[in-house]
Structure 1
């Protein structure tokens, strides 16, 4: 992973994005400390799906791989005067 100072990354943003797409995520530093990461949309999407798949992805999974913890509550509701 390459490291870019914030001011350099701002001035050469297109190059940072192209490098991220070709070589992987790029670290941006501010005052010598890690500040952020720039990554391609493809890398971001893969990372995002790995940590928290969306509803569509969840529903498209085969039923055997879906584990739901479903438990009915004993609550009978409340009485309401009419």
Structure 2
């Protein structure tokens, strides 16, 4: 027996409005793209997927401490140029 064809994940605004319940149901298993004028406009995902994607993965301090540039001796020199004249 052949596997069922993959359900389409693209919707026009009109079809998404007409079948919002179906869009929401399908979004529970895979992201659903809604197009406007033939171009992707928004993506509908499950609340669980949204939480997973937006969950904080540590603090800024932890990110900086884990940087591969930590400990690299960079020679950063500040330019001491005169300020430029701006028209009034």
Interval of TM-score (by shorter of Structure 1 and Structure 2): 0.5 to 0.7
The partner residue of 1:17 within 14, 21, 24 is: 24
Q: What are the within-5 Å matches in structure 2 for residues 5-44 of structure 1?
A: 5-22=12-29, 24-44=30-50
Structure 1 unaligned residues grouped into runs of 5+: 60-64, 70-82
Alignment length, in residue pairs? 57
Provide the TM-score with structure 2 as the length reference: 0.55
Task: Judging by fraction of residues, say which structure has more helix.
Answer: 1
- Whose relative contact order is higher, 1 or 2, with alpha carbons under 8 Å and at least 6 apart? 1
Structure 2 unaligned residues grouped into runs of 5+: 1-7, 66-88
- The structure that has the greater radius of gyration is 2
Provide the TM-score with structure 1 as the length reference: 0.59
1-structure distance, mates of 2:62, 2:39: 41
2-structure distance, mates of 1:67, 1:21: 31
CA RMSD of aligned residues (A): 2.4
Shift in CA distance, 20/67, structure 1 to aligned 2, threshold 3 Å: closer
